[in-house]
């Protein structure tokens, strides 16, 4: 699929409208992005954005939760909301003939949620169940432990679900205040992809949101939170059948030039069954049930992590194995074949991520929220193709030398004592 051109326009009230015209199917997908995710919450109200998002479809000033669900299901459409670290998002999918009605419903949900008390308590209970479920999963516990070590008081250290204490403290007034502060037209990005022209998109957005006035108060701003590197070793014991070993490194945000090099390193280490970590640590050495790496895109300082699920008796070997593979990147450059394979995999993965209207709406809306141009795809492709093995080695030496180590495993005092050596 060749990506269609992207139109970018802005309404007088500040709403940014992206249109990706793709008439190949009678479907329109939309994404409504707002910088209002867990990154923006007060620390004593962690989980506030998650609770608010879960309540958007549970009642407006004119519609009950049941009426909203009936309107969506009666036409076979999709409409839902979610929260991530950096943003809050409303998503829709519908056939073109029902677009106006579903889009109006999305506008009502976004602008006038009612936060019914009974629904607040129901959603709170569901989130508390999800929090408890997270604590039962070794990977989530290792990742939580790693984020805490990496970020300290920075909001990126926290789960978007919050915790049991903060979730219990959130009031209806907190939800109302957060909505008033963050859900506003001059922060809204609407991305529409499918059988719709830019002029049709602007007319529709104007019809539903054109009368939405910018609040007189200034939009919320983020106070910079400095994150410093202080590598730590941490182990948590849990009744589990496998050990999770995770090494983490602070890494650049999306606008840092080194971000592209680390994206390529991530692809080299983790992309598929022919990736370096899979081949060396699972296929050749049989150490891993699961092994991979990840480098999430973030507005602020991100992190690069490698991890392995392994037999608890192999914990120490797993740590040394993961460190050896990352250290190799610092000590010797990739071969020409390794470099080209990593580039092909990464660019192929990005292309596959823009096959459907929903993926197109998601991708370009996310780019806009990150402050990237609509031409970022072309820029990214060009930047990847120009990267050299020397540049990757330089980036590895800059960011991937001193890891934070997070381990979750069954209690084993002998193994723990072996592992508790200082980090060199």
d(CA 368, CA 373): 7
pLDDT tens for the chain, residues 1 to 424: 456 789 999 999 999 999 999 988 899 999 999 999 999 999 999 999 999 999 999 999 999 999 999 999 999 999 999 999 999 999 999 999 999 999 999 999 999 999 999 999 999 999 999 999 999 999 999 999 999 999 988 899 999 999 999 999 999 999 999 999 999 999 999 999 999 999 999 999 999 999 999 999 988 887 666 776 677 888 999 988 899 999 999 999 999 999 999 999 999 999 888 899 999 999 999 888 999 999 999 989 999 999 999 999 999 999 999 999 999 999 999 999 999 999 999 999 988 888 899 999 999 999 999 999 888 888 999 999 999 999 999 999 999 999 999 999 998 643 444 444 434 3
Q: 233-419: same fold as 6-209?
A: yes
Domain boundaries, the chain: 6-209, 233-419
d(CA 284, CA 324): 14
Top CATH class of 233-419 equals: alpha beta
**b/e for 201-217, b at 16 or more Cβ within 10 A?**
bbebbeebbeebeeeee
The residue among 41, 179, 50, 165 whose CA lies nearest residue 114 is 179
d(CA 135, CA 128): 11
d(CA 111, CA 5): 30
Please give the pLDDT value at position 418: 47
Please give the pLDDT value at position 231: 74
Please give the pLDDT value at position 415: 46
Pick the CATH number of 6-209 from 3.30.499.10, 3.40.50.150, 3.30.830.10, 3.40.640.10: 3.30.830.10
HEC letters along the chain: CCCCCEEEEECCCCCEEEEEECCCCCEEEEEEEECCCHHHCCHHHCCHHHHHHHHCCCEECCCEHHHHHHHHHCCCCEEEEEECCCCEEEEEEEEHHHHHHHHHHHHHHHHCECCCHHHHHHHHHHHHHHHHHHHCCHHHHHHHHHHHHHHCCCHHHCCCCCCHHHHHHCCHHHHHHHHHHHCCHHHCEEEEEECCCHHHHHHHHHHHHCCCCCCCCCCCCCCCCCCCCCCCEEEEECCCCCEEEEEEEEECCCCCCHHHHHHHHHHHHHCCCCCHHHHHHHHHCCCEEEEEEECCCCCCCEEEEEEEEECHHHHHHHHHHHHHHHHHHHHCCCCHHHHHHHHHHHHHHHHHCCCCHHHHHHHHHHHHHHCCCCCHHHHHHHHHHHCCHHHHHHHHHHHCCCCEEEEEECCCHHHHHHHCCCCC
Look at strands 189-194 and 27-34 and give their pairing: antiparallel
User: At 26, phi and psi to the nearest 5?
Assistant: -80, 50
Radius of gyration of the CA atoms of the chain, in A: 23
Q: Which two tokens stand for residue 121?
A: 């308590």
CB 62 within 8 A of CB 112: yes
* Residue recorded with tokens 């036409």: 75
d(CA 280, CA 197): 49
Please give the pLDDT value at position 33: 98
């Amino acid at each position: 699929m060749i990506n269609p051109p992207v139109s970018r326009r802005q309404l007088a009230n500040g709403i940014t409208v992206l249109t990706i015209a793709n008439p190949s199917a009678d479907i329109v997908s939309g994404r409504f992005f707002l910088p209002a995710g867990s990154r923006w919450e007060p620390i004593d109200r962690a989980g506030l954005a998650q609770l608010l998002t879960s309540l958007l479809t549970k009642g407006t000033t004119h519609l009950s939760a049941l009426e909203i669900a009936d309107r969506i299901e009666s036409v076979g459409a999709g409409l839902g909301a979610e929260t991530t670290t950096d943003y809050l998002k409303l998503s829709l999918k519908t056939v073109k003939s029902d677009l106006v009605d579903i889009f109006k419903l999305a506008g009502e949900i976004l602008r006038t949620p009612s936060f019914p008390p009974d629904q607040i308590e129901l959603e709170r209970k569901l989130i508390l169940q999800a929090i408890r479920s997270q604590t039962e999963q070794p990977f989530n516990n290792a990742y939580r432990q790693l984020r805490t070590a990496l970020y300290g008081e920075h909001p990126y250290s926290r789960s978007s679900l919050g915790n049991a204490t903060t979730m219990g403290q959130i009031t209806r007034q907190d939800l109302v205040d957060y909505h008033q502060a963050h859900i506003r037209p001059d922060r809204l990005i609407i991305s529409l992809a499918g059988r719709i022209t830019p002029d049709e998109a602007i007319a529709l957005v104007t019809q539903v949101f054109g009368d939405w006035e910018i609040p007189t108060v200034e939009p919320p701003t983020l106070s910079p939170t400095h994150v410093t590197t202080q590598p730590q070793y941490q182990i948590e014991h849990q009744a589990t059948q496998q050990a999770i070993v995770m090494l983490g490194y602070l890494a650049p945000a999306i606008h840092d030039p080194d971000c592209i090099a680390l994206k390529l390193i991530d692809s080299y280490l983790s992309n598929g069954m022919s990736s370096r970590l899979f081949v060396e640590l699972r296929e050749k050495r049989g150490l891993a049930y699961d092994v991979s790496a990840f480098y999430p895109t973030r507005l602020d300082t991100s992190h690069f992590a490698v991890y392995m699920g392994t037999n608890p008796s192999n914990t120490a070997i797993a740590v040394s194995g993961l460190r050896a593979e990352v250290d190799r990147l610092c000590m010797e450059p990739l071969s020409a074949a390794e470099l080209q394979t990593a580039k092909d995999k990464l660019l192929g993965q990005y292309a596959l991520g823009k096959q459907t209207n929903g993926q197109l709406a998601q991708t370009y809306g996310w780019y806009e929220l990150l402050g990237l141009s609509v031409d970022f795809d072309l820029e990214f492709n060009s930047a990847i193709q120009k990267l050299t093995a020397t540049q990757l080695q330089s980036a590895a030496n800059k960011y991937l030398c001193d890891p934070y180590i997070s381990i979750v495993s069954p209690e084993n005092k002998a193994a723990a004592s072996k592992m508790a050596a200082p980090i060199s």
